[in-house]
Amino acid sequence: MKENGYFISFEGIDGSGKSTQIQELSKFLKELDFNVIVTREPGGSAGGEEIRNLLLQGDVDRWSAETEVLLFMAARRDHLERIILPALDDGKIVICDRFTDSTRMYQGLRGPKLRNLVDLINDNVIRCDPDLTILIDIDPEISHQRAKSRKIAEERFEDFGVDLQRQMRAGFISLSKEFSNRIKVFNGQKSANKLAQEICSLVKTKLK
């Protein structure tokens, strides 16, 4: 579905430092005169942001995992149609905080055959994968402390506790092996500056 531009997603458990590294990469690419759009999931588009509020706030048992999959995918489809695909068609670089890999983990690992459901919808409805995925790997204890210290309204998934973060971390590492041609793993416990240098260097090489 995308013929131009370059699509980069950032993944990792909550509190892994994605937001900081996305800002650094965007700044770096703009200094190289690339046209860059930074967006996020769930959200990004007006409709996606409305669904985001439903998903990330409220009690942990507000939705079943199956319902969450459908809500995330609905938000993603709207995001694609209105933001991501038009930007790629214009030859821009799109940097997205989370994409389908997060749904594979946070919802796909929570019940039997849910990963299959995520892949089925992705293959038949989303039909768009990032060109490159940056996975920031970090100790779940550290990341959970960071995430909870933010004191924001969107803490529904953080409230599942550190055990979920451990499960998600293992799942993300497994996913990086499954999609090794696309997902590149970085050590999130390095200094922010060192990590940014490594990520920017890789992306610059890919864009060449």
Domain ranges of the chain: 6-207
CB atoms within 10 A of CB 120: 12
Q: pLDDT above 70 covers what percent of the chain? A: 90
User: Which residues, other chains included, contact 69 with Cβ-Cβ below 8 Å and sequence gap of 6+?
Assistant: 103, 107, 108, 114, 117, 118, 121
Q: Which of 131, 108, 133 is nearest to 119 (CA)?
A: 108
Identify the band that residue 160 occupies on the pLDDT scale cut at 50, 70 and 90. low
Q: At which residue do the structure tokens 């979920």 appear?
A: 164
3 pLDDT band, cuts 50/70/90, is: low
Report whether 13 contacts 168 (CB < 8 A): yes
pLDDT, tens only, 83-105: 999 999 999 999 999 999 999 99
In this structure, what token pair is assigned to residue 29?
Answer: 């690419």
CA distance 22 to 26: 6
Residue 99 exposed, middle or buried by CB count within 10 Å (0-12, 13-18, 19+) = buried
Per-residue pLDDT reduced to its tens digit, 130-145: 999 999 999 988 776 7
For residues 14-32, give the mean pLDDT: 95
Number of C-beta neighbours around residue 55 at 10 A: 20
Confidence of residue 1 (pLDDT cuts 50, 70, 90): very low
CB 36 within 8 A of CB 8: no
Domain 6-207: assigned CATH number: 3.40.50.300
Q: Model-level pTM?
A: 0.89
